Homo-oligomer: A and B are copies of this chain.
Amino acid sequence: MSVHIRVVTPVIPTGLTEAAHFEGILGPDDCLDFVEIDKGPSSIECAFDEMLATADTVSKIIQAERAGVDAVVLDCMGDPGLRPGRETVSIPVLGPCQTAMNLACTLGHRFSLLAVTANMRIQFENQAKLYGAWDRYTSTRSVEIPVLDLCAQSDVLKEKLLDAAVCAITEDDADTLIIGCTGMVGLAVDLQTRLHEAGWSVPVIDPLPVAARLAKVLVESRLTHSKRAYPTPGKKLIRGYDGSALEAFNG
């Protein structure tokens, strides 16, 4: 069964996200495309950035369903628009953070996040509480590199990721790791290998590819998020979103 999954990248285009990031994640017959938003921030590093991105992200989710896409995957660990997005559509909408945290509960006993900066800790703690993963959440360690500098510093990034991972394992007793920013997509396998060579056999979850593959599993299994938990909004007077897909709920 071939599927069409769409990645919604909740930042405005700056060249950071490329189709190449998503090649090979799904099968040769599947389609995994991506779309960036028109209105919002150039990166998401706090609740304010997330707020700027959410409305247009949900608009893209609605457009995806209209275009016949089978499922949507968000491209940010803040899972911006996850709840309103799920309310507005029936196709599966997956957040990489929620997916990775719940999967980490299946793979190990205590998981840690490897974040870009330390002030993501509170966001991840809040998400773990909301996603029912708090019992296993262990810690957040960071590389202290802003999202927009990740590419430029790709060399030091790998070293800092390794350092952060070893701290999580040896100081926090983590046994499962999650890459804490989808801007670091593709680095999990290398980190996992280097940790293994260093004597630490811990899985390192790359949230976006895992979420995309799980999205396909949901489609194959005829599953989606609970519409009872995320009921479709009724129409009401809305001002200020003319021309966007959100207008569908205006009336």
Q: CB of A239 within 8 A of chain B?
A: yes
Q: In the docked arrangement, what's the CA distance between A133 and B105, Å?
A: 8
User: Is A237 a contact partner of B12 (Cβ separation < 8 A)?
Assistant: yes
Binary CB contact string for chain A from 27 to 68 against chain B (1 if under 8 A, 0 otherwise): 100000000001111110111111110111010000000000
CB distance from A87 to the nearest CB of B (A): 5
CB neighbours (8 Å) of A103 from chain B are: 102
Decide: B121 and A94 in contact? CB cutoff 8 A.
Answer: no
Residues of chain A touching chain B, judged by Cβ–Cβ distance below 8 Å, are 1, 12, 14, 27, 38-43, 45-52, 54-56, 58, 81, 83-84, 87-88, 94, 98-99, 102-103, 105-110, 119, 121-122, 125-126, 129-136, 148, 169, 173, 175-176, 189, 192, 200-203, 205-206, 209-210, 213-214, 217, 220-231, 233-234, 236-241, 246, 249
15 A-B pairs with C-beta separation under 8 A = A41-B237, A45-B234, A47-B87, A52-B238, A52-B241, A56-B240, A102-B103, A105-B133, A109-B125, A109-B229, A110-B229, A129-B130, A148-B236, A205-B223, A206-B221
Closest A-B pairs by Cβ, 6 of them: A39-B240, A108-B226, A201-B227, A47-B83, A42-B237, A132-B136
